[in-house]
Amino acid sequence: MHVIVVGGGITGLTLALSLHAVGVSCRVYEAAREILKLGVGINLLPHAVRELTELQLQSALARVAVATREMAFFNRFGQFIYQEPRGRHAGYDWPQFSVHRGELHFVQLAAVHERLGADAVQLDHRCTGFTQDADGVTAHFVDRPCVRGDALIACDGIHSALRHQIFPDEGALVYTGINMWRGVSRWPPFLTGASMVQAGWLDVGKLVIYPISDTVDAEGRQLINWTAEIRSPRNVMADWNRAGRMEDFAPVFADWRFAWLDVPGLLAHSERVYEYPMVDRDPLPRWTHGRVTLVGDAAHPMYPRGGNGAGQGILDARTLAGCLARESDPLAALSAYETARLKTANDVVLANRSTPPDTILRLVHERTGDKPFERIEDVVSAEELRALMERYKHLAGFQRDALRERRSLVGR
């Protein structure tokens, strides 16, 4: 069996490494002419790190990432709301990593070249669609020869051309009315030096801040990833590399100076700023069309809340590799993959709209009327907040004990 993988991002490379590990032939076709270290920070929850560990990538990731110690929530006045340990600090068998997206991508790319060969990823191959028959599937590219295989896997992201061919009348991306600006800054460590912080709320401005690289200069500063979110009528094109302007959002956070962090100072030190609307797509009733199926953002683009988008794509890739290893018939394998992953991923899409982990911030904002509190216990109990977090972990597939006991996704 030979598998065509369209898209050489995080999900596509995870799939290629997984297929190689189970003895299934594949090649990756990427639209970009050159792979660069693009983007900003990404958070890898323990369920994703387990899969990357099984691919023998944990050591390489640990060298370029920060092992997250805790998730902490604050209001916009810098008052503490809730904290919980993360990764190995919470008793997981796997760490939680915060890392620059480009560093993760290059760790994967190096492993693909080492294990599958220098020609395993074909650049400058923009896929426009496919045709299929009883014997196989053909991928079509702009100004490149067609490629024939037994199955074609769409890992081509939120603007997937293959998804559009299967669902041509789907319509535009769904915009929430929330706009995001993202960047990375060289800044001294804050809190534990490995804390992931969420603060404020969308009505008054919300921040997500965490380190993605340790000791980046002689002054002991870290590379800090930050995301600023505000309600906005702006619906800019969904492009992670669109340049943003500080004046469009920084004034909202001008007085966010806490004992543990000078937010305006952090933002002002950003190396560059990207602007991105919070968008997703409505869940699909199916992902598979004969010998073609959708994976990752091509299948279920979701709001980047909960630090779980890349993780779900990694779980998709690993599950699909397991199905292709167990089933000699690619049609049966793709069907089994869809059965295993469709409902779970779609449920995460819907949860990220309604009750993601940052619902904690909304509860406090609404119950206090956006005013400082004297005691958080008078606003919301720790038990209520803990229950909310556990529900999301269960839904997304990273509850500690369940993750430890789950069988490998690629086991025969």
Greater confidence, 110 or 232?
110
- So what's the pLDDT on residue 303? 85
Q: Is the pTM of this model over 0.85?
A: yes
Mind listing the pLDDT tens digit for each residue in 34-82? 998 888 899 999 999 999 999 999 999 999 999 999 999 999 999 999 9
Predicted confidence band of residue 241 (pLDDT cuts 50, 70, 90): confident
- So what's the pLDDT on residue 232? 81
- So what's the pLDDT on residue 234? 67
CATH number for the domain that contains residue 163:
3.50.50.60
| Domain ranges, residue 100 | 2-67+93-172+281-354
* Percentage of residues in the chain having pLDDT higher than 90: 83
Structural domain includes residue 324? yes
Query: 310 — alpha (psi -120 to 50), left (phi > 0) or beta?
Result: alpha
- So what's the pLDDT on residue 230? 92
Mind listing the pLDDT tens digit for each residue in 86-134? 999 999 999 999 999 999 999 999 999 999 999 999 999 999 999 999 9
Mind listing the pLDDT tens digit for each residue in 266-295? 999 998 899 888 888 999 999 999 999 999
- So what's the pLDDT on residue 271? 84
Structural domain includes residue 293? yes
Predicted confidence band of residue 211 (pLDDT cuts 50, 70, 90): very high
Examine the pLDDT at 264 and tell me if it is beyond 70: yes
Structural domain includes residue 225? no
Structural domain includes residue 16? yes
- So what's the pLDDT on residue 316? 98
Q: Specify the number of domains making up the chain.
A: 1
- As a whole number, the mean pLDDT across the chain is 94
Predicted confidence band of residue 172 (pLDDT cuts 50, 70, 90): confident
Examine the pLDDT at 308 and tell me if it is beyond 90: no
Structural domain includes residue 254? no
Structural domain includes residue 185? no
Among the listed ranges 297-311, 336-350, 397-411, which one has the minimum average pLDDT value? 297-311
Predicted confidence band of residue 175 (pLDDT cuts 50, 70, 90): confident
Examine the pLDDT at 235 and tell me if it is beyond 70: no
Structural domain includes residue 52? yes
Structural domain includes residue 79? no
- So what's the pLDDT on residue 240? 64
Examine the pLDDT at 237 and tell me if it is beyond 70: no
Examine the pLDDT at 412 and tell me if it is beyond 70: no
